[in-house]
Amino acid sequence: MPRVTGPTIARWRLGKELKQLRESAGCSYLDAAHRLDCSESKIRKIEASEVGVVRAELDSLLELYKLEDDDLRYLLHELQRLGKQRGWWAPLGSMPKQYAFFLSLESDARRVRTFEPMVVPGQLQTEEYAYALDAMCTFESPEELERSVQIRMARQEAFWRGRNDPSRLWVIVDEAALRRPVGKKPGIMRGQLMRLLELSDQCIFQIVPFEVGSYPGTIGPFTICEFDENVHSPVVYTHGQAGIAYLEKPEDVERAGRAFNHMAAMALSPAQSGKKILAILSEMAKLQGGENEG
């Protein structure tokens, strides 16, 4: 049985199991809807994990499907219980539904592969860098800016807590993300680069250097969340001026995977990437020293 780490995975697994049981029992959506005295649409949404199911409804469906496997029944009850839980982000208050969904995907993923061409990804940002970045790139009020950054810091804490598998997070960034100044204080970028060095043993981190020229990442940022095979297929998350999108079609996921693998082959190795960061830090120190002299 795959690990079940949060409400999203639990709801996905429960929906999948219920669909298999219904089909094995030869029941239609209408049969299940009559049993729960609800619409066929609700049954479809339960199986697609778009809505939850209460314990009484679950037991009624299992009776209809004539489930006799006590171990499977126990698992389904556990999945239903876990599916009702709130994610770690719930106490932080309301936030856009699509972003909350991304947090749930990232929290439950077995592996996360992300590419960013212009900025350091959120999982690796320092608090100062996050403040400076959001202040430049959003039109949020000071209160909204404070909350946005604190959510990101809480996201990092949740992501890194109890994790000791460096392969769980694989990050590729364009060299531009490390050279473009963020914030007015030079110490912000220096602190951010130092943070990347500190986290280098906790994830796979690669830099695509300028000298490789054009490459698939010029299209834009994306993140691939991967799960245990019998839980859910990978989901690709993209974001930009047009908003957030989630891609689940096999051809879309395959295309994103090919692009990521191609970039990984073109990028500097993790060891070389660490040396590149040190070189950038050295250049920054010389430049700032020259400015001070002038």
List, for residues 75-129, the tens digit of each pLDDT value: 899 888 888 777 777 777 777 777 888 888 888 888 999 999 999 999 999 999 9
Edge-to-edge strands of the sheet including 204-208?
204-208, 169-174, 111-116, 222-226, 235-240, 243-247
Q: Which residue has the higher pLDDT, 167 or 1?
A: 167
| Contact present, 205 and 275 (Cβ < 8 Å) | no
Pair (77, 115) in one structural domain: no
The percentage of residues in the chain with a pLDDT greater than 70, rounded to a whole number, is 95
Same domain assignment for residues 110 and 239:
yes
Report the alpha-carbon angle 206-149-242, nearest 5.
70
Residue 2: both structure tokens together: 């795959």
Q: Are residues 159 and 66 in the same domain?
A: no
Q: What is the tens place of the pLDDT at every residue in 246-258?
A: 898 999 999 999 9
Residues 114 and 238 in one domain: yes
Cite the beta strand spans of 42-88 per DSSP E. none
Contact 98, 19 (CB under 8 A): no
- Residues 123 and 264 grouped into a single domain: yes
CA–CA gap between residue 126 and residue 182 (Å, rounded) = 12
Concatenated DSSP letters for 97-163? HHHHHHHHHHHH-SEEEEEESSS--GGG--HHHHHHHHHHH----HHHHHHHHHHHHHHHHHHHTT-
In Å, what is the CA distance from 161 to each residue of 3, 88, 125, 165, 170?
A: 17, 12, 16, 11, 17
Q: How many CB atoms lie within 10 A of CB 148?
A: 16
Domain count across the chain: 2
If asked whether residues 125 and 260 sit together in one domain, one would say yes
Look up the CATH number of the domain holding residue 50. 1.10.260.40
Report yes or no on 88 lying in a domain.
Answer: no
Residue with the larger pLDDT of the pair 218 and 34:
34
The string of DSSP codes covering 171-225 is: EEEEHHHHHS--SSSHHHHHHHHHHHHHGGGTSEEEEE-GGG-S-GGGG--EEEE
Q: Which domain holds residue 169?
A: 93-293
What would the mean pLDDT of 152-171 be, rounded to a whole number?
A: 87
Q: Enumerate residues 6+ apart whose C-beta is below 8 A from 60.
A: 35, 36
Q: Tell whether 200 is covered by a domain.
A: yes
Same domain? 281 vs 212: yes
Task: Compute the distance between CA of residue 129 and CA of residue 124 in angstroms, rounded to an integer.
Answer: 10
Average pLDDT in the chain? 88
Check whether 291 has a pLDDT greater than 80: no
Do residues 121 and 250 both lie within one domain? yes
Segment 132-146, tens digit of pLDDT = 998 887 777 888 888
**How far is Cα 42 from Cα 60, in angstroms, rounded to an integer?**
15
